Amino acid sequence: MLEEDLKKEELGESEEKESLEEATPVEETDAVEKQAENQGEAEENVETTEEDEIYAKLHELDLRLEQLEDIASEDITIDEEQEYASLKAEVKKLKERLKEINKKKKEESNSIWDKINIYYIIYAFIALILVMYPTGTMISAYYANLSYKLASSINETLELSDKAFDIMNFSLYLLYYVLFIVIDLVFFSFIKKNKVNKITMAVVILVHVVASLISVLQIIEVFF
């Protein structure tokens, strides 16, 4: 009896073990399928923009172009030359499309910094350093020497009075500051539709005029 009970227990354990072994692959399959579904849903949630697709395509084209460029000129075939020219044209077209996308993004952006032309800001700071006191007067001193020589040569011909010579010399010196204002106005005239850039350049012009006046007033007594 004891032996029969032991056999029954062993038989029950083996059947239970077999059922567990049979269930395990099913559970693993379900887990894999669930993971695949979750991954698919995550990929669907990630939107691929046109800009991303262009960058990916450019990367692909660059790799192919590098392969073609590595081929020796005497070994390259006509088909490969045509492919190279076609790829270069496609790359150029995609880059132009990228510029259009970036330009549109800037126009639609609500950030003022995306609408301001950074080159205007760089120019504004450089020009301000060149005209503001005391750097403006120090730098313009080199120009003042040239303007004095020019005024002296003109005076030799016209034989002006001392007062007239001082006025002419000072007027020639002022051209240094007037030049920056003229450049400001030229930049301003190039701006057509962007109101932010127009306002920016208007402020730049005002700042340059005020800075120039301060510098001139600091040195005007040298001329008179």
Residue type, 127: A
pLDDT of residue 191: 85
- Please give the Cα distance from 57 to 65 (Å, whole number): 12
Query: Is 0.75 surpassed by the pTM of this model?
Result: no
Whether 170 contacts 150, CB under 8 Å: no
Residues 42-95 have pLDDT tens digits of 444 456 788 889 999 999 999 999 998 888 878 888 888 899 999 999 999 999
What gap in Å lies between CA 101 and CA 20, rounded to an integer?
58
Domain spans, the chain: 12-112, 115-222
Q: What is the pLDDT of residues 169-188, one digit of tens each?
A: 888 888 889 999 999 999 89
Using the 8-state DSSP alphabet, how is residue 71 labeled? Answer: S
